[in-house]
Chain A
Amino acid sequence: MSLALTGVVKRYGERVALDGVDFSVPAGAVVALLGPNGAGKSTLVSIAAGLLAPDSGSVSVRGRPGLAPQEIGIYPSLTVRENLWAFAELYGVSRRRAERWLEPFVLTELADRPAGRLSGGEQRRLHTAIAVVHRPKLVLLDEPTAGADTQTRSAILDAVRGLAGDGAAVVYTTHYLPEIEELGADVALLERGRIIASGTIEELVARHAESLVEITYTDGRTERRPGTSLHGLGDDVVRAEVIRPSLESAYLALTGRRSAE
């Protein structure tokens, strides 16, 4: 395993962020870590990256992981190229090897531009490229496409597929379920510090998903009914949506919430 967490507990004062988490990722796999805000995803990533120590449990990581935290972390006064150099040097990677990541992240033409003058999407691509500059065996991407444009999202997803294809294990936290389906990633669902479900998308859908009708009323209330029938809805309904069995409906069934909430 490139990453193995066993019985990991992490508390912040009284609050339990991770409550006995077992989580592992083999080489070459992409595992999407899902869960509502506050479920413990970033804490898990921070522990895997060595930034936080668990209160109990064990963590085993193969090599030095590549980390792209949720918030963009780059040197704004340095150029794109220099940002890659800066982190490559820390890992003993040559500048030439570092610059190989310009192309996959669509940064070649921006290489000599100060990072602070890039658009949000361009910064997000650089931020992610920095995480993989040393070709890590474990890549930890914490919401790498949050607020990203289409080009950035596509570049990041391509890079993730490429890294996994080269044998890296990738942990990918996100709220965008279509990305996970696009990646064909395995899924682990974290809720209140516990992994409540895990497996392939097909397994989760087969086990937990069912068709639902989500009804929104004029007073703002929402209600979810099993099935697909829209029959008998009253005048106080402003919107009714049939949610077919999918990762989204499995997520909804498991957490009672939409993934983007």
Chain B
Amino acid sequence: MIRNELRLLRHDPVPAAVLVGMPLVLMTLLSDAMKSTLAAGGHEGAPGSAQTVPGMACVFASFAIAVVGFAIFREHGWRTWPRLRAAGLSGRKLIGGKLAVPALLVTAQHVVLFGFGVLFLDLEVSGSWLAVIFIAALFATLVLVAGLAAAAALSTIQQVNAVTNLGAMALGGLGGGFVPVDSLPEWVQPIAPLSPVYWAMDGYETAILEGGGVGDVLGPLAVLAAFTAVFAGIALWRFKLDAPKRTWG
């Protein structure tokens, strides 16, 4: 199953390449501008990459929600879903296979974006790298499970497209993925914690800019875990292997 997912990726690598390449371009373009924004927020002398690297990592990892959704819906569109089921794959194996490549993609995103930030954009983690890794890992898990919940709860590919892509942009912006939350309009700031990105960025700020360790990011980690649990609950509640899905056919 995973081998075939990789085969499909090899035949059409463009979407994955865009999800890794595009944030690199945005980070490079925005980091200088973010330096002054961070300074205005009390982080004098911090490189702009302290905002753009985790911000773009969160925003573009959120597109993995759509990647997971499409990975399942396209099997319905190609009419291969019943064949996979007839092959006797358990639900766990089917879903595991569908999550494997998006998981690889999100991991690659984080490694490339943080690596690029350190090597070329002066990103320094003043606190614990382990805390950064925990936040990244939990956020990655969250988006994968959210993708599964979207695939479970939505019934047409147009819904998946609209909800996951626009949702990723909206939650990324609301949670401070593009600019710090304190730079957002005042009326937006109180609702920013509704976005999981807000909590990931809160944790990143603690670890990257404020010298925090794992113990200092337990709060954001707990909230991210709670979001993940909610999405997992939706996925478990709504996911049915024989549910009809309308695609492009």
Contact = CB atoms under 8 A, between A and B. Distances in A.
A73 B78 contact: yes
A217 interface: no
Given A50-B85, A64-B87, A65-B86, A86 B4 contact: yes
Interface stretch (A18-26, A87-95, A158-166): A87-95
Given A67-B83, A69-B83, A90-B1, A77 B11 contact: yes
A77 B1 CA distance: 16
A51 B11 contact: no
B242 A52 contact: yes
Contacts of A114: 11
Contacts of B4: 75, 86, 89
Contacts of B219: none
Interface residues of B, number: 20
B186 interface: no
Interface string B81-108: 1111111110000000000000000000
Contacts of B84: 90
Contacts of A50: 85-86, 88
Contact of B83 (A46, A52, A87): A87
A72 interface: yes
A90 B82 contact: no
B9 to A, nearest CB: 10
Contacts of A85: 7
B166 interface: no
Nearest to B80: A73
Dominant SS among interface residues on chain A: loop
Contact of B8 (A49, A64, A71, A75): A75
A130 B4 CA distance: 14
A157 interface: no
A28 to B, nearest CB: 22
A66 to B, nearest CB: 8
A77 B11 CA distance: 7
A51 B87 contact: no
Given A67-B83, A76-B78, A77-B12, A82 B89 contact: no
Given A64-B87, A64-B88, A74 B11 contact: no
B7 A67 contact: no
A71 B79 CA distance: 7
B97 to A, nearest CB: 10
Nearest to A90: B87
Interface string A51-64: 11000000000001
Interface string A75-114: 1111000100111011100000000000000000000001
A62 B88 CA distance: 13
A114 B78 CA distance: 14
Nearest to A130: B83
Contacts of A87: 83, 87
A90 B7 contact: no
Nearest to A115: B78
A85 B6 CA distance: 13
Interface in B178-235: none
Contacts of A71: 79
Contacts of A75: 4, 8, 78, 80
A225 to B, nearest CB: 44
Nearest to A50: B86
A67, A75, A90, A114: residue with the most chain B Cβ atoms closer than 10 Å: A90
Contacts of A91: 87
A91 B4 CA distance: 13
A52 B85 CA distance: 10
Contacts of B1: 89-90
B3 A73 contact: no
A75 B12 CA distance: 12
Given A67-B86, A73-B80, A85-B7, 11 more contacts: A49-B82, A50-B88, A51-B82, A51-B85, A67-B82, A69-B82, A71-B79, A73-B83, A75-B8, A89-B4, A90-B1
Interface of B: 1, 3-4, 7-8, 11-12, 78-89, 242
What are the 5 tightest A-B residue pairs by CB atom distance, in nearest-first order? Answer: A73-B79, A67-B86, A90-B87, A77-B11, A86-B4
21 contacts: A49-B82, A51-B82, A52-B242, A67-B86, A69-B79, A69-B83, A73-B78, A73-B80, A73-B81, A73-B83, A74-B80, A75-B4, A75-B78, A77-B11, A77-B12, A78-B7, A78-B8, A85-B7, A86-B4, A87-B87, A90-B87
